[in-house]
């Protein structure tokens, strides 16, 4: 049945719509941290959909909220007052830490970033944007145009002039000789040099930990150091928290907090986990920036009641059950366990990340050369034993990505780590 579906999929959908696995899975249902395929096989989901299942699959609290909302009204548009949208905006504005915050809901991370770019360029009257090497910000024309990851930039054309900044790296490999402070200083010098040769950019957009880029973790403080330079030039800082928000990184509610304890970004974008699979994205900015547009601008499906009901129930569950704390505790155990494995398997270059956002970088043993074949082989081997993982990295997707729902238990972390260890040992000796 799945085979037939694959043929039909290939006949009508684009070739570039990437599918995982040689024999792609058809997921039919889920519960907690597990999903099942059409043949009844059960998998531990270490990728949380695609970082979309933030709390758990089929969480009864969300199912109830969504079905009750569906029985009342699904969507009435933002032309009318919408109570769940106001409530979710109030909670996100408060959590963002941005003073006098305004929230605009979109339907995806791409649309959120596009909106952030429109706000920043309008506010600063500049269509030049600074972005990080190896970054990913979505698939609209502008979001692709500022995406530094060549594996995810189908066109080199862009409506924006983009300048790429050092600091987004596949691993610290090429910079391995530099300690954190020297690494940051080198990146700051690069930024200053760039700014000496251009008219003032509107903003720097960056993921605090790069997601699609393979969960690369810059040293804490990198963005704080960048920010000093940005502030001197009046350049806005847009934190793309599409993957790093909502406590996923364990130590912090937002990814930027690992870098800059002095204050929130000028603009913050979010998506993925907040809807637990329902399509919610959005932008938070202080009123002065958000209100710089002086034409009407709506997103037809942004803020729709059904998605807002899911977001409210999801966020309530996350906060009441301290899933950020859980991500810190369980993620801490998991990274220790995986680092112990890495020390024994030569092809594992690095285990990095924080909380429940962990990357395992694979290289050809004895070298620093990315090994995408190994990553694919480990992905297949883990699947055969009932574990789903993600992949990421630059053009060579040589990193395994681990981002389970934030309610992952210690027993499940242990089970997943044991399968991953076996898959690594049997695949890349």
Q: What are phi and psi of 291, to 5 degrees?
A: -90, 15
- Binding ligand PLP (rule: CB under 6 A), the pick from 53, 55, 69, 110 is 110
Is the Cβ of residue 271 or residue 406 nearer to ligand PLP in the bound state?
A: 271
Q: How far is the CB of 418 from ligand PLP (least distance, A)?
A: 28
User: Quick check: 268 and 344 in contact, CB under 8 A?
Assistant: no
Pairing of strands 203-206, 128-132: parallel
Query: How many Å apart are CA 318 and CA 334, to the nearest integer?
Result: 20
Query: CB 357 → ligand PLP: shortest distance, Å?
Result: 11
Contacting range for ligand PLP; rule: CB under 6 A; set: 65-73, 104-112, 218-226, 318-326: 104-112
Smallest separation (angstroms) from ligand PLP to the CB of 242: 4
Which one, 207 or 361, has the nearer CB to ligand PLP?
Answer: 207
**Which residue's Cβ lies closest to ligand PLP?**
109
Rounded to the nearest whole angstrom, what is the least distance from the CB of residue 290 to ligand PLP in the complex? 19
**Interface mask toward ligand PLP for 173-212; x: CB under 6 A:** ----------------------------------x---xx
Task: Please report whether residue 138 would count as binding ligand PLP according to CB under 6 A.
Answer: yes
Strand order in the sheet with 161-165: 101-106, 281-286, 267-270, 236-240, 203-206, 128-132, 161-165
Binding of ligand PLP by 271 (CB under 6 A): yes
Q: Confirm or reject binding of residue 49 to ligand PLP (CB under 6 A).
A: no
Q: Which DSSP string corresponds to 58-99?
A: T-HHHHHHHHHHHHH-S---TTS--HHHHHHHHHHHHHH--T
* Residue 400 touches ligand PLP, criterion: CB under 6 A: no
Torsion of CA 398, 403, 408, 409, to 10 degrees: 30
Q: Is residue 327 within 8 Å of 246, Cβ to Cβ? A: no
Q: Is 240 in the site for ligand PLP (CB under 6 A)?
A: yes
What is the CB neighbour count within 10 angstroms for residue 143?
27
114 or 266: CB nearest ligand PLP = 114
Span near ligand PLP by CB under 6 A; candidates 72-80, 109-117, 156-164, 344-352 = 109-117
Beta strand 42-45 with 34-37 is antiparallel
Please give the angle made by the CA atoms of 221, 139 and 79, to the nearest 5 degrees: 95
208 vs 416, which CB is nearer to ligand PLP?
208
Binding residues (CB under 6 A) for ligand PLP: these are: 108-110, 113, 136-138, 207, 211-212, 240, 242-243, 271, 281
């Amino acid at each position: 049945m799945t085979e037939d579906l694959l043929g039909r999929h290939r006949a009508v959908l684009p070739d570039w719509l990437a599918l995982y696995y040689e024999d792609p899975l058809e997921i039919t249902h889920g519960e907690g941290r597990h999903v099942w395929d059409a043949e009844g096989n059960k998998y531990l989901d270490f990728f949380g959909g695609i970082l979309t299942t933030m709390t758990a699959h089929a969480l009864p609290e969300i199912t109830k909220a969504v079905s009750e909302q569906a029985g009342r009204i699904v969507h009435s548009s933002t032309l009318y007052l919408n109570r769940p949208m106001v409530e979710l905006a109030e909670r996100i504005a408060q959590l963002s830490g941005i003073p006098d915050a305004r929230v605009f809901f979109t339907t995806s991370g791409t649309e959120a970033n596009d909106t952030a770019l429109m706000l920043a360029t309008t506010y600063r009257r500049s269509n030049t944007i600074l972005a990080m090497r190896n970054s990913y910000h979505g698939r609209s024309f502008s979001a692709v145009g500022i995406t530094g990851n060549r594996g995810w930039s189908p066109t080199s054309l862009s409506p924006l002039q983009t300048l790429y900044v050092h600091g987004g790296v596949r691993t610290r490999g090429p910079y391995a000789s530099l300690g954190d402070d020297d690494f940051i200083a080198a990146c700051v010098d690069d930024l200053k040099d760039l700014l000496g040769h251009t008219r003032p950019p509107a903003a720097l957009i960056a993921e605090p930990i790069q997601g699609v880029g393979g969960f690369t973790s810059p040293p804490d403080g990198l963005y704080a150091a960048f920010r000093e330079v940005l502030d001197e030039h009046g350049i806005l800082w847009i934190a793309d928290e599409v993957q790093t928000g909502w406590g996923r990184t364990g130590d912090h509610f937002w990814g930027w907090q690992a870098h800059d304890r002095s204050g929130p970004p000028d603009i913050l974008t979010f998506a993925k986990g907040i809807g637990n699979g329902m399509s919610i994205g959005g932008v938070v900015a202080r009123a002065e920036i958000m209100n710089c547009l002086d034409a009407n601008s709506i997103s037809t499906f942004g803020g729709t009641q059904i998605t807002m009901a899911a977001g409210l129930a999801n966020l309530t569950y996350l906060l009441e059950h301290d899933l950020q704390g859980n991500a810190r505790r369980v993620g801490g155990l998991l990274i220790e366990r995986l680092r112990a494995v890495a020390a024994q398997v030569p092809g594992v270059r690095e285990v990095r990340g924080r909380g429940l956002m962990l990357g395992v970088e694979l290289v050809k043993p004895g070298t620093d050369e990315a090994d995408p074949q190994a990553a694919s082989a480990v992905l297949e081997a883990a699947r055969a034993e009932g574990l789903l993982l993600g992949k990421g990295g630059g053009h060579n997707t040589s990193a395994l990505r681990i981002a389970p729902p934030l309610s992952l238990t210690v027993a499940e972390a242990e089970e997943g780590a044991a399968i991953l260890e076996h898959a690594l040992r049997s695949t890349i000796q």
